[in-house]
Amino acid sequence: MGKIIGLSGYARSGKDEFFKITSRLFPEMKVLRLGFADGLKSYLNDFLIKETGFSAFTTDEEEKKIIRPYLVSIANYYRFKTGGKFWIDNWKKERKKMSNDYDLLFVTDVRFVNELVFLKNEKKSLNISISLLENEKQTQPANISEANDTSATKSLCDLSFTWDKSEDED
């Protein structure tokens, strides 16, 4: 079992992109990803396809804008119902199904303080806050709760940086 890297930041700030780049930079390492919201996306995928025509796993920005309110509403319901533990408990169940044979395990959607604290309590955890600068514009929160939650997690992260995506070639 290797190091866990928790990534926090606004929607579309490049957390998954950071994971993909890291995977490519260290091909000799076994690098995996398991998000807190992966279970939610799997749970809602068929419903979202039926109601909106879009998969919960879409990477298209316009499609994400349409489905995000559904995901946030259901996520908030389950967080309230379980005192904020639903996504952590779900993540732990999914992690048990995975091989412990990894060098880095990325959690690309650390959104709440209790999730960050949970990861900090895991052995060998590093938590990073990511901001994205694209064409000289800072990524903005998708909604007010994201602004508040991300601000709270950022203050507790071990490392914080801003990257300029407008300089990326691909």
* Secondary structure (DSSP) of 66-124: HHHHHHHHHHHHHHHHTTT-HHHHHHHHHHHHS-S--SEEEE----SHHHHHHHHHSTT
**pLDDT, position 13:** 79
Q: Which two tokens stand for residue 28?
A: 């000799």
Are 10 and 82 in a shared domain? no
Q: Are residues 82 and 65 in the same domain?
A: yes
Write down the pLDDT at residue 55.
96
pLDDT of 138 reads 67
The tens-digit pLDDT sequence of the chain (170 residues) is: 788 888 888 777 788 888 999 899 999 999 999 999 888 888 899 999 999 999 999 989 899 889 988 988 898 898 899 998 888 998 898 888 887 788 889 998 888 888 888 988 876 677 767 665 555 566 777 677 777 777 778 888 887 877 776 555 44
Residues 103 and 145 in one domain: yes
Question: What DSSP string describes 108-162?
Answer: ----SHHHHHHHHHSTTEEEEEEEEEETTEE---SSHHHHHHHHHHHTT-SEEEE
By the 8 A CB rule, do 15 and 34 touch? Answer: no
Q: What is the pLDDT of residue 29?
A: 92
Same domain for 102 and 29, yes or no, is yes
Domain residues for the domain of 52 are 37-91
Q: What is the pLDDT of residue 122?
A: 79
Give the integer Cα–Cα distance in Å for 55 and 44.
9
Query: What is the count of structural domains for the chain?
Result: 2
Whether residue 30 is found in the same domain as residue 41: no
Same domain, 86 and 104: no
In a shared domain, residues 162 and 120: yes
Dist. CA 118–CA 96, nearest whole Å? 16
